[in-house]
Amino acid sequence: MLRNALLGLVSLALSLLVADWVLGRLTQDAAYTKAVKQGMAYDTRDRLRVILDNRRADANWFPAVPANTYLETHLKLGSERILPLGGVARARVVGCNEGGFYSSFTTDEAGFHNPSGTWPLKNDRHIFLVGDSFTQGDCVKEGEGIAERLRLRHPEVVNLGVGGNGPLLELAAIREYVPAGKTALVFWLYYEGNDLMDLQRDLRDPVLRRYLDAGFSQNLLPRQGQINERVRNYAEGRIRERSGGQALVFPNLRGALWRVRHGQGLIVADKPQKSDKSEADADQFLKILASAKQEVEAKGGQLVFVLLPEYYRFSGEPLSTWAGHSEELKKRVAGLGVSVIDTEPRLRRHPDPLSLFPFRLKGHYTGEGYALVAEVMSEFLNSKHGRAE
């Protein structure tokens, strides 16, 4: 009896190992495959291992924790639920690996990707960037992101971008971190590939949904010290939990189950995403952008809409459903009285636009791609219309 039970357990373990290996092969990063073929170096570690390896010399390394984490994992200050908008503050954080290396960067006093000493704000007029991981500067080497390149010419740039952000999180960032009297411009960087999709998720959160009310604020900045402590403790707990082995056993199976639980497929498909709610999403987005415009102008600044094109614009494949609304969206945004910057023409003029994506695959832009976006934005800032006085 005992022998049969042990044989059953061994058989189950072997079956799970085989299934995990098969899933790993099926989901093998296409970038890794291309790197091998091209004889290029590729870091095959997972992000946890990168963090743990760096922590041998410096314990202040953390994962890049997106704000949308706290839509599912609720943090509290006392009895009050708090929704942080930045990551771990005053830390070195590890992001994604699309180009064969893991991105990493330093966070400021509020957990955003800015130099130390950004807060409290010192200049009279600042240029703020809100957006998702494209704005944050993830997946490229430090110094190659949009904000960092802009800052070389415009030192007053403050980056409020965070990976995974959607429109409501971006409105929240404006409400909480863009101050009255110290704002010249707010660039709203809109990634056409998933920003409207993220809006569906954001609207389900009761705290985040309250930002649709003009008077609502969590008063995050005055409580930043307490928030930073809670976020750091949460991140430390996750590192301890995962490094204890819970997420290192059958990682591919666990990843597949996570995707299924979150409404995704067993295997991440590299194809345009579709939705039958995209038109309603676009209408809701315009209401949010109108609120952002009103808020920025009340604080003495100007809101500028920056359109970031998705990979399928250049690959010849059908666009995602949300990107299919971009042309109409640009017209409607302009109709709100918001200046529109479309960066696609500049990227398209590149001799090889697909080379602006790591390994010519769907993902974030390369450093060169970000440089072109920053160039277009800098030209706007240097123009008579867009100069930050």
pLDDT for the residue numbered 123? 78
Long-range CB contacts (within 8 A, 24+) of 149-155: 149/370, 149/371, 149/374, 149/375, 149/378, 150/374, 150/377, 150/378, 150/381, 153/378, 153/381, 154/127, 154/378, 154/381, 154/388, 155/123
pLDDT for the residue numbered 268? 47
Report the sign of the C-alpha dihedral through residues 173, 368, 48, 119, in that order. Answer: negative
Mean pLDDT of 366-383: 97
pLDDT for the residue numbered 253? 53
Of 48-52, 163-167, 273-277, 301-305, the one with minimum mean pLDDT is 273-277
Report the distance separating Cα 55 and Cα 48, nearest Å: 10
- Decide if pLDDT at 203 tops 50: yes
Mean pLDDT of 8-15: 62
| pLDDT tier for residue 190 given thresholds of 50, 70 and 90 | very high
Q: What percent of the chain is predicted at pLDDT more than 90?
A: 74
Higher pLDDT, 175 or 253: 175
- Decide if pLDDT at 25 tops 80: no
| pLDDT tier for residue 258 given thresholds of 50, 70 and 90 | very low
- Decide if pLDDT at 172 tops 90: yes
- Decide if pLDDT at 161 tops 90: yes
pLDDT for the residue numbered 294? 97
- Decide if pLDDT at 265 tops 50: no
- Decide if pLDDT at 26 tops 90: no
Q: What is the pLDDT of residues 66-113, one digit of tens each?
A: 999 999 999 999 999 999 999 999 999 999 999 999 999 999 999 999
Higher pLDDT, 29 or 135: 135
| pLDDT tier for residue 270 given thresholds of 50, 70 and 90 | low
- Decide if pLDDT at 267 tops 50: no
Of 135-144, 152-161, 194-203, 268-277, the one with minimum mean pLDDT is 268-277
Mean pLDDT of 240-264: 58
- Decide if pLDDT at 22 tops 80: no
pTM given for the model: 0.88
Contact, 346 vs 376, CB < 8 A? yes
pLDDT for the residue numbered 146? 98
